């Protein structure tokens, strides 16, 4: 039985993208896709919130969806500087990343808050990409599976399912470092997460589980072919159209 799910390649632009270079990147991706690149996977790019609307407009009518990088739990209200999932949807997003390790570290986001943000995404009709991953110290202490298992259980809201939720396993020590786990380590964690999803709620095991952390054109093919890897969340390499397209071309 072929249990492969359709791959998802997601670009996380992080705090990169003034208007002109963001639009140039979006247009280069659109041109690549129009020319037949990245034909197999589903594609999404997550630009900074200030350019979501412009990027969504530039990508309208293409196969490339647009996402946010975070959202508030509320729909509106007195929360200076925050953005609701409804606002992201209104700007043209169909997806939002929640619980990225940089937000967990920089803003003290807990599993409980991440689950509430995922629920907010669903309320607004957005799919949530829920990020989890161990630190280097946790891996060194042999705590990887315990940590990611706990984050998984704590970061998924009621109402989550394969249609509106994607998991991204991103070892914190692999993000932006050029280091990646071995393929065996990736397969071990992804296989474990698949089992945990099933145990949490039958049917949840159909959620896609992306790998993230130093995915590059030269390692993407192997990572994307690893057991239970259903795509990639790409940071640095998503800022270069050719690299993002090459990674997406590697998807099965």
- Point out the catalytic residue in the list 42, 72, 86, 100: 100
Closest distance of CB 231 from ligand PGA, Å: 12
Is 170 annotated in the active site?
A: yes
Specify the residue, 204 or 244, whose C-beta has the smaller distance to ligand PGA: 244
Q: CA 143 → CA 26, 186, 187, distances in Å? A: 39, 15, 16
CB of 185 to ligand PGA, least distance (A): 16
* 215 near ligand PGA, judged by CB under 6 A: yes
- CA 226, CA 246: separation in Å to the nearest integer? 18
* Residue showing the smallest CB distance to ligand PGA in the complex: 235
Instruction: Please pick, from the candidates 67, 92, 133, 213, the single residue that binds ligand PGA as defined by CB under 6 A.
Output: 213
Provide the greatest CA pair distance for the chain.
Answer: 51
- Indicate the residue among 111 and 170 with the shorter CB distance to ligand PGA: 170
Q: How far is CA 134 from CA 74, 233, 236, 248, in A?
A: 28, 16, 20, 25
**How far, in whole angstroms, is CA 136 from its chain's centroid?**
20
170 binds ligand PGA (CB under 6 A): yes
107 scored as a contact of ligand PGA (CB under 6 A): no
Choose, by CB under 6 A, the member of 151, 214, 228, 250 that binds ligand PGA: 214
H or E segment to which residue 167 belongs: strand 165-169
Our CA dihedral for 234, 220, 55, 88, rounded to 10 degrees, sits at -40
Q: Which is nearer to ligand PGA, 181 or 212 (CB)?
A: 212
Here's the x/- map for ligand PGA, 222-251, by CB under 6 A: it reads as: -----------xxxxx--------------
CA distance 207 to 213: 19
Residue 61: CB minimum distance to ligand PGA, A: 27
Q: Is 212 near ligand PGA (CB under 6 A)?
A: yes
Query: CA 119 to CA 109: how far, in whole Å?
Result: 15
Min separation Cβ 107 and ligand PGA, Å? 15
> Footprint of ligand PGA on residues 2-61 (CB under 6 A)?
12
- Sole residue written with tokens 């020319």: 35
Residue 127: closest CA among 154, 88, 171, 74: 88
Cβ pair 26, 59 in contact under 8 A? yes
**100 carries an active-site annotation:** yes
Annotated active-site residue in 102, 138, 170, 205: 170
DSSP letters along 45-84, please? EE--GGGHHHHHHHHTTSSEEEEES--BSSSSSS-TT--B
We find the least distance from the C-beta atom of residue 215 to ligand PGA, in angstroms, to be 5
Residues belonging to the active site: 100, 170
Binding site for ligand PGA (CB under 6 A): 12, 170, 175-176, 212-215, 233-237
């Amino acid at each position: 039985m072929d249990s492969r799910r359709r791959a998802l390649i997601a670009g996380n632009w992080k705090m990169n993208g003034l208007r002109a270079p963001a639009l140039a990147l979006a247009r280069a991706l659109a041109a690549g896709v129009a020319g037949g690149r990245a034909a197999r996977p589903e594609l999404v790019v997550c630009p900074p919130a200030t350019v979501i609307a412009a990027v969504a407009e530039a990508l309208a009518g293409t196969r490339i969806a647009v996402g946010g990088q975070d959202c508030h739990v509320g729909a509106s209200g007195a929360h200076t500087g925050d953005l609701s999932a409804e606002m992201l949807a209104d700007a043209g997003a169909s997806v939002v990343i929640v619980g990225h390790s940089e937000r967990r570290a920089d803003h003290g986001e807990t599993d409980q808050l991440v689950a509430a943000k995922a629920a907010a995404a669903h309320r607004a009709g957005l799919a949530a990409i829920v990020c989890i991953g161990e630190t280097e110290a946790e891996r060194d202490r042999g705590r990887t599976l315990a940590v990611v298992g706990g984050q998984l259980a704590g970061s998924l809201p009621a109402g989550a399912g394969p249609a509106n939720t994607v998991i991204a396993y991103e070892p914190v020590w692999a993000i932006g470092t050029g280091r990646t786990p071995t393929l065996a380590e990736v397969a071990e964690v992804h296989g474990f997460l698949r089992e945990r999803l099933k145990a949490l709620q039958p049917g949840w095991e159909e959620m896609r589980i992306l790998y993230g952390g130093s995915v590059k054109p030269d390692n993407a093919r192997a990572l994307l072919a690893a057991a239970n890897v259903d795509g990639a969340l790409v940071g640095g390499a998503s800022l270069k159209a050719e690299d993002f397209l090459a990674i997406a071309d590697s998807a099965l």
